[in-house]
Amino acid sequence: MVASDEKSAAAFRTIGEVAQATGVAPHVLRYWEERFPQLRPVTRAGKRRYYRPTDVALVERIAHLLQREGYTIKGVQQLFARERGTAGDTESKAPSAPASDADAIATAESIATTQRDTLARVRVVRDWIAAALDEG
């Protein structure tokens, strides 16, 4: 997650700050909020959105899956449904928002740990393939 110099990593971000940090346009973020029930920023007076650290981590993950992994919106929805251990319509089964900021931070840390573990496994496979190619 990209944090600005002025705010702590646990601070809430506006839609503009999230757009700048992730490279995802504000209108796309609003569209993703409609498509992914997991993405629910806090709204304050005047319907101004504030994204929690877990929301920013989710935006980064969705962007990665769509832009780098080649998933479609439907494909990402299905992936999230499988990860939740449910089947069927992903839009009708929205998970509840984190109960507190501490829960939100714990969830973001869990996502980051999973991503680091996956990256470590990919590096092991890469090194194994490189060694096999060097031998042949």
The answer to whether the CB of 34 falls within 8 A of the CB of 77 is no
* pTM for this entry: 0.59
- Statement: residue 1 has pLDDT above 70: no
pLDDT digits (tens, 9 = 90+) for 37-85: 999 999 888 889 999 999 999 999 999 999 999 999 999 999 999 988 8
Q: Return the number of other C-beta atoms located less than 10 Å from residue 97's C-beta.
A: 15
pLDDT greater at residue 9 or residue 86: 9
Please state the rounded mean pLDDT for residues 19-41.
95
Rounded Cα distance between 35 and 74, Å, is 9
pLDDT greater at residue 2 or residue 63: 63
Name the token pair of 37.
């029930």
pLDDT greater at residue 127 or residue 35: 35
Rounded Cα distance between 22 and 35, Å, is 18
pLDDT band at 113 (very low <50, low <70, confident <90, very high): confident
Instruction: Name the residue with tokens 């700048």.
Output: 20
